[in-house]
Structure 1
Amino acid sequence: MKETKLIVKNKFLKKYKSGYPLIMKDAIINMNALKEEGQLIRLLDEKKGFIGKGYYGIQNKGYGWILTQNEKEKIDHSFFHKKLLEAIKRRKKLYMDRNTTAFRVFNGEGDGIGGFTVDYFDGFYLINWYSKGIYTFKDYIINTLKNLSGCRGIYEKKRFDTGGKFIEEDGYVWGERAKFPLIVKENGVNFAIYLNEGAMVGVFLDQREVRKAIRDKYAKDKNVLNTFSYTGAFSVFAALGGARKTTSVDLANRSLPKTIEHFSLNNIDYEAQDIIVEDVFGYFKYAQKKNLKFDLIILDPPSFAKSKKNRFSAAKDYKDLLKSVINITEDGGVIVASTNCASFDMKKFKDFIDKAFNEMDKKYKILEEYRLPEDFRTIREFREGNYLKVVFIKKY
């Protein structure tokens, strides 16, 4: 395939030569050379010196990804095949773990090819495509996966605008059709997975180590509040860790049946737990008014959230959200503050925490912190990729 030459502005040279993989509009002199997503790209400096090769694909803030800084390396089937097999080899320990049958197999630029991810669910592979550009290479990726030992079937989710031309039925691509719910394990706990229901599948795999810590170290005999609870995964781990009671709060109507399903799958009496469908912001006001207090609160909001009465942006509003939580946390209690917002780093996140406690005139201690688990591989040159920040905070 012919390569389109793109010229990088001098002021961005150091960034790209050091291995930054995302092709940004502001960095390129001749963006008009790009015509069709999936085009192969050759990045050059203003003196026509080679920088790297990649492809054109519009995704969030980027216009494609650099895949290699080796001028002689071809971007072809064997390139994709090799990168996928290398990624799978890195997860060998997880493949052999009978207590965990759901994890990430390929994490975009962290494994050498930005623009898509692959997750594993007990023999089934789910590909998330993030641009039309990467989707043009789909056969390379699908053919590699379907030849893997133990691959039962493949599903996909297109997370880019298809302009209504393609109506995705259930995302099925190849092999056996999964029977839903597909029951998987995470550290011995059962989860119900639906590969055929929109963007969400039933659990966020990047919180695996946090859930384990809650079960093994923090939940025993505690009154636990799980906010923005989605399908109740944190609540299930807390209950299995010996929590006195769990309360799960989420605005989405589906959170009720999904949370009941997860409790039931793990032989927990869901009627002994509180599952509340309500705007979390409204619940905080209610809890404060009723003088409710919790020993352990999990605060894991989306980066952006909107309800009839409230708009939330993690970058702007996390501090104030945390203040609402401090109000209803027992002295000596623990807050699990979490965010997947990539627009600020851990230092900034800890600044939010510090300001929230100072403004509430409360003392605190950071007990431990978590980033992405090892299967969500990241590279030092692309810090935005290491988005997850979780801090366990003790309130005094």
Structure 2
Amino acid sequence: MIDVILKKGKEKAVLQRHPWVFSGAIEHVKGKPANGEIIRLVDAKKSFLAYGFYNAQSRVAVRLLEWDEDTTINDDWFRNKVRMAVASRSAILNDGQTDTCRLIFSESDYLPGLITDKYADHLAVQVLTTGMQNAMPIIIDELTQLLKPKSIFDKSDAASRAHEGLDTINALLYGTPPPALVLVKENGITYGINIAEGQKSGFYCDQRDNRHILARHTKGKKVLDCFCYTGGFTLNCLSNQAASVTSVDSSALAIETLQENIRLNNFGEANHSAIKSDVNVQLRKFKEDNEKFDIIVLDPPKYAPSRSALDRASRAYKDLNRLGMQLLNSGGLLATFSCSGAMDMETFKQVLAWAALDAGKQVQFIYQFTQPEDHPVRASFPEGEYLKGLLCRVW
């Protein structure tokens, strides 16, 4: 096994079990490991630190797997990690209300670069690292033995794969092609999910708990769901007898799927309207029309993919939330989110304080949203905590 030698003094994060080693921390590589090959990481004194995947093309040159020198990284090692991850989701999948969740959450489940989502009898995977790409035959075999899925679909279409020297993939790996709409259940609500053409792996199950929490406030209320995608918040609000829900998204496919989801749940269209539009443009139109709402949901895409983008993203979040606050009736609720890992909760609160000042509003933070238990945050990998949100009362 090839040794990768760290520079003197660069071992602290490794000893604390952080799974990333950046290329700038490496002093020397003995030999020429292939991208994705498992290497032995040692400190400047050549003492063992950990085993991990190596990739010379990536800024994260080593993704660590195992800190016990006597443990062999083999097929059984990968199979065991898959079994651990699946077993830890049993409470979610056995409650009778939900048959969709994230089964494997990359570094947070000790399998760096692998995301696996369960949609009823179908699985969707995203592979973001070369090392995990090499291990996929073992992973797929273990998943099929454990879960007997009808299909496993590879949604590895993220642009970040290029940093690992990987092409994008959107293809069937196992079984028969999933139907155009896979029917799943979350919180007792039915959704049709388009795995092949939908965003990410097809659905945003990271908002499962937050959708349920917000819906408790919506009975008899006029709700605006922005960046609604296929209707996660919309359907929960309608299920809890919201007076009306207006859903806005720029994707025609998302709006079409949302409308089908409303039909699947027999909610009817009388108290729902869907608008295909850029959210920022539509919010300004609502303001021009003097439209007001009791509850507004703002769940935008990732504005800050890295810390270098944080200043620009903060301005975008501030402007979006300012517009939302101006459309609320006095005492109304704003459920606002950021899925940018680079933005922590304190920064997000500050951005909302600036938005409130610009909007001429007073704001109370009454609840903090986060990601659910199938998106665990590993103690040694705080970067796994990316989803944050606030329920705000706006006066």
The normalised TM-score by structure 2 is 0.91
| Bigger mean CA deviation after superposition, 50-59 or 323-332 | 50-59
The verdict on how the C-alpha distance between 1:13 and 1:162 changes in structure 2, with shifts beyond 3 A counting, is closer
* Identity between Structure 1 and Structure 2 (%): 27
Q: Distance in 2 between matches of 1:337 and 1:59?
A: 37
Is the contact made by 2:219 and 2:240 (CA closer than 8 Å) also made in structure 1? Answer: yes
Q: Distance in 2 between matches of 1:111 and 1:218?
A: 33
**Does 1:337 find its partner at 2:336?**
yes
Report 1:1-396 matches (<5 A): 3-30=1-28, 35-57=33-55, 62-158=60-156, 159=158, 160-161=161-162, 168=169, 171-197=171-197, 199-215=199-215, 217-270=216-269, 272-304=271-303, 314-396=313-395
Structure 1 residue 152, shift from structure 2 partner: 3.0
The verdict on how the C-alpha distance between 1:146 and 1:340 changes in structure 2, with shifts beyond 3 A counting, is same
Structure 1 residue 207, shift from structure 2 partner: 0.2
What is the aligned partner in structure 2 of residue 309 from structure 1? none
The verdict on how the C-alpha distance between 1:115 and 1:321 changes in structure 2, with shifts beyond 3 A counting, is same
Q: Distance in 1 between matches of 2:56 and 2:171?
A: 21
* Alignment-mate amino acid for residue 154 of structure 1: I
Q: Is the partner of 1:270 in helix, strand or coil? A: coil
Structure 1 residue 60, shift from structure 2 partner: 7.8
Q: Distance in 2 between matches of 1:22 and 1:162?
A: 15
Structure 1 residue 144, shift from structure 2 partner: 0.6
The verdict on how the C-alpha distance between 1:166 and 1:339 changes in structure 2, with shifts beyond 3 A counting, is closer
Q: Distance in 1 between matches of 2:59 and 2:275?
A: 36
Structure 1 residue 272, shift from structure 2 partner: 3.6
Note the alpha carbon deviations across 1:353-378, whole angstroms, 9 max, x for none: 22222333322111111211011122
* Alignment-mate amino acid for residue 192 of structure 2: A
Q: Distance in 1 between matches of 2:163 and 2:60?
A: 18
Structure 1 residue 201, shift from structure 2 partner: 4.5
Note the alpha carbon deviations across 1:156-175, whole angstroms, 9 max, x for none: 2223249999785x621123
Structure 1 residue 58, shift from structure 2 partner: 7.7
| Bigger mean CA deviation after superposition, 37-46 or 351-360 | 351-360
* Alignment-mate amino acid for residue 231 of structure 2: G
| Bigger mean CA deviation after superposition, 314-323 or 50-59 | 50-59
Note the alpha carbon deviations across 1:2-39, whole angstroms, 9 max, x for none: x3322223343211210110221222223696653211
Is the contact made by 2:111 and 2:132 (CA closer than 8 Å) also made in structure 1? Answer: no
Residue ranges of structure 1 left out of the alignment (5+ in a row) = 306-311
The verdict on how the C-alpha distance between 1:64 and 1:229 changes in structure 2, with shifts beyond 3 A counting, is farther
Is the contact made by 2:155 and 2:201 (CA closer than 8 Å) also made in structure 1? Answer: no
Q: Distance in 1 between matches of 2:208 and 2:214?
A: 10
Q: Is the partner of 2:374 in helix, strand or coil? A: coil
Structure 1 residue 57, shift from structure 2 partner: 4.5
Q: Distance in 1 between matches of 2:376 and 2:346?
A: 21
Count of residues in correspondence between the two structures: 386
Is the contact made by 1:104 and 1:119 (CA closer than 8 Å) also made in structure 2? Answer: yes
Residue ranges of structure 2 left out of the alignment (5+ in a row) = 305-310
Q: Distance in 2 between matches of 1:34 and 1:318?
A: 45
Q: Is the partner of 1:10 in helix, strand or coil? A: coil
The verdict on how the C-alpha distance between 1:163 and 1:25 changes in structure 2, with shifts beyond 3 A counting, is closer
Q: Is the partner of 1:29 in helix, strand or coil? A: strand
* Alignment-mate amino acid for residue 253 of structure 2: R
Q: Distance in 2 between matches of 1:339 and 1:175?
A: 36
Structure 1 residue 342, shift from structure 2 partner: 0.7
Structure 1 residue 214, shift from structure 2 partner: 2.0
What is the aligned partner in structure 1 of residue 307 from structure 2? none
Q: Is the partner of 1:23 in helix, strand or coil? A: strand
The normalised TM-score by structure 1 is 0.90
| Bigger mean CA deviation after superposition, 333-342 or 276-285 | 276-285
* Alignment-mate amino acid for residue 197 of structure 1: E
Q: Is the partner of 1:267 in helix, strand or coil? A: coil
